[in-house]
Structure 1
Amino acid sequence: MELDLRYRNGGNSDLLDLIDIRPGRALDCGCGAGDNARLLRARGWRVTGVTIDPSERAAAGVECEQVELADLNDGLSFAPDGSYQLVLLSHILEHLAEPAPLLAEARRVVDPAGRILVALPNVLHYRQRAQFLLGRFEYTETGLMDATHLRFYTVDSARRLLADNGLRLVAHATTGGLPWWRSREVLPRGLTRGADHRVLARWPNMFAWQALFLATPAPAPAAGVELGTPESAPVVVPAQSPGSSRPPAVIGRVGAEAGAGPRTPSRRP
């Protein structure tokens, strides 16, 4: 089987920037050719990849300690309970008809003090809204309307998906921004970044291309207590390294003091 180059990319570094624990063992579900595994390995993680594609298994083996050939719809039976400190689900759940079983498996195999990282595309991004308004619902080879997507999410519905499946949010982020097109190249960087951050914080379902979440297994609720994750959290805008061309990311840390103003934390190397 030939490697599908449509899904080769530089990895989802904005998602990995949410990690707030020391490196250990990571499970990259739907690892592709190992792009995220390469970034994780550079940060000190020992990565096991999972793919259904034998050609991807060979490519990912360059970056992963081991690669399991498995269908994510069938679970993670190869992994013992609590055996990973990090489980990565980067643009995976939208490809599953039923995401709940895989989320349950992620909770099972992650260490109780570990983290689960999830990235999902936002189908209500302004460009896709324009297509809908024009009466167009057309699948594409890649992107928001990828022909292999079986489920579609907004930023809000993605958050609810995780809360409804026993996950507690530790942090969340969005990436995207305004349609500057080529004017971004000539306008002051501070102006464009500041505007992007403001619209992402105010209207994430309009301007976010992807929603990013750092979560941990939620404790079992007491009798009569509804399981879920707080909807509101202060927005935190991360600093970007000089010369970075990456799209802006707006990050919120769940559980911070309500009403706290924006701050700029230091970035991990």
Structure 2
Amino acid sequence: MHATPNHYYGNVNPTLLEVVNPSAQHIAEFGCGAGAFARAVRQRCAGLVHYVGIELMADELTKAHDTLDVALVRNLDQIPNWSNDPELTAALVPDSFDHVIFGDVLEHLYEPQRVLAQAVRCLRPGGSALVCIPNVQHWSVMAQLIRGHWPQQDAGLFDRTHIRWFALSDMRRLLQQTGLVVEKIIPRVFKPENGQALLQALQPAAQLLGVDPQQFMQHSQALQYVLVGRKPPNPSASPL
């Protein structure tokens, strides 16, 4: 897991915040930074009892101590089995959390499925994972590939600290492979008009590949997706 630029830590994703259950009492956030999102959640959830924050950057986490009940500095890529970490095990009690939250975190991990699967164990039956992941199918990525260039930037889709890349189908599969039922998918679209000409020009290529042109247009406008994956009360629940 790579360190991210400082400006990340003060941001609150309003779309991710909207899917937090206002009745939630027990929440664990992975990549909690300086606690900006946790503070927003506390305002949303009047009955919140317990908020655990896990963060790679110790300096940022110190700024979150006022809003976290438990604050742990961890590089989750370096802990293959959380049960071998007594502090982590004590903080993340199995089957007890209403939400586990990953806001623009999974793409920074070498093994996002392993990390997410262990986090899912902490969810109570019926609890949900709330994740936000950048969309590699965004039109701006296509534009750069056509130009034969992959930018290295401090933030956004071309963040130099990204390790994994996901299109929507990959995101859905990631959640399903950890036993979650995908209940909600929310695209985050910004300035779609900027990519319209390129996407219209690429529609024949999409058709040539057997891709529905309308679906291609829709999936290529989302900069990110917020997904809600629920831990089923029984294994027979069917995914979205």
In the aligned structure 2, how far is the partner of 1:170 from the partner of 1:21?
Answer: 17
Q: Distance in 1 between matches of 2:183 and 2:192?
A: 30
Aligned counterparts, 1:208-223, within 5 A: 208-218=222-232, 221=235
Between stretches 7-16 and 91-100, larger displacement belongs to 7-16
Alpha carbons of structure 1 residues 53 and 200: separation in structure 2 relative to 1, 3 Å: farther
2:220 equivalent to 1:203: no
Which 5+ residue runs of structure 2 have no aligned equivalent?
83-87, 195-212
| 1:59 is aligned to 2:63 | yes
Q: Where does residue 27 of structure 2 map in the other structure?
A: 26
Q: What is the aligned partner in structure 1 of residue 110 from structure 2? A: 97
Tell me how far apart the structure 2 counterparts of residues 22 and 201 of structure 1 sit (CA, whole Å). 35
TM-aligned CA deviation for residue 203 of structure 1: 3.3
Residue 130 of structure 2 aligns with an amino acid whose one-letter code is: L
**Which SS does the other structure have where 2:155 is aligned?**
coil
Tell me the equivalent position of 1:267: none
Matches within 5 A, 1:186-197: none
Q: 1:7 to 1:200 in 2, by over 3 A?
A: farther
Aligned to 2:239: 229
Q: CA deviation at 1:62?
A: 2.7
User: Residue 40 of structure 1 contacts residue 47 of structure 1 at CA under 8 Å; is this kept in 2?
Assistant: no
Given the superposition, is the C-alpha separation of residues 212 and 136 from structure 1 closer, same or farther in structure 2, using an over 3 Å criterion? Answer: same
Q: Is the 8 A contact 1:13 1:39 kept in 2?
A: no
Instruction: Tell me, in whole angstroms, the C-alpha distance in 2 between the residues paired with 1:201 and 1:32.
Output: 35
Counterpart CA distance in 1 for 2:55 and 2:64 is: 9
Relative distance call for 1:141 and 1:62 in structure 2 (3 A) is: same
- Identical columns (%): 28
Bigger shift: residues 58-67 or 167-176: 58-67
Q: How does 1:100-249 map to 2 (within 5 A)?
A: 100-180=113-193, 203-218=217-232, 221=235, 229-230=239-240
**Per chain length, whose mean CA-contact separation is higher, i.e. which structure has more relative contact order (CA < 8 Å, sep 6+)?**
2
Task: Report deviation, 1:31.
Answer: 0.4
Q: How far off is 1:219 after superposition?
A: 5.7
Shift of residue 35, structure 1, vs aligned partner: 1.6
Query: Would the aligned equivalents of 1:200 and 1:207 in 2 still touch at CA under 8 Å?
Result: no
Could you list the runs of 4 or more consecutive aligned residues of structure 1 that deviate by over 3 angstroms after TM superposition? 177-181, 199-204, 218-222
Query: What does residue 85 of structure 2 align with?
Result: none
Aligned residues of 2:125 and 2:232 also touching (Cα < 8 A): no
> Quick one: distance in 1 between partners of 2:29 and 2:214?
27
**2:239 partner amino acid:** T
CA deviation vs aligned residue, 1:40-97 (integer Å, no higher than 9, x gap): 1111234211112210111111322221122222244342212311110111110111
Per-residue deviation at 1:28? 0.7
- CA shift, 1:4, in A, is 4.6
Q: Which runs of 5+ in 1 are unaligned?
A: 182-198, 231-269
Report the number of matched residues.
207
Partners of 1:156 and 1:205 within 8 A in 2: no
Judging by fraction of residues, say which structure has more helix: 2
What CA deviation, in whole Å up to 9, does each residue of 1:118-143 have, x standing for no partner? Answer: 11000121122111111111221111
> TM-score normalized by structure 1?
0.70
Tell me if structure 2 keeps the 8 A contact 1:103–1:165. Answer: yes
Secondary structure of residue in 2 paired with 1:8 = helix
Where 2:169 maps in the other structure, the secondary structure is helix
Please give the alpha-carbon distance, in whole angstroms, between the structure 1 residues aligned to 2:226 and 2:126. Answer: 19
SS across alignment from 2:121: helix
Residue in 2 that maps onto 1:10: 11
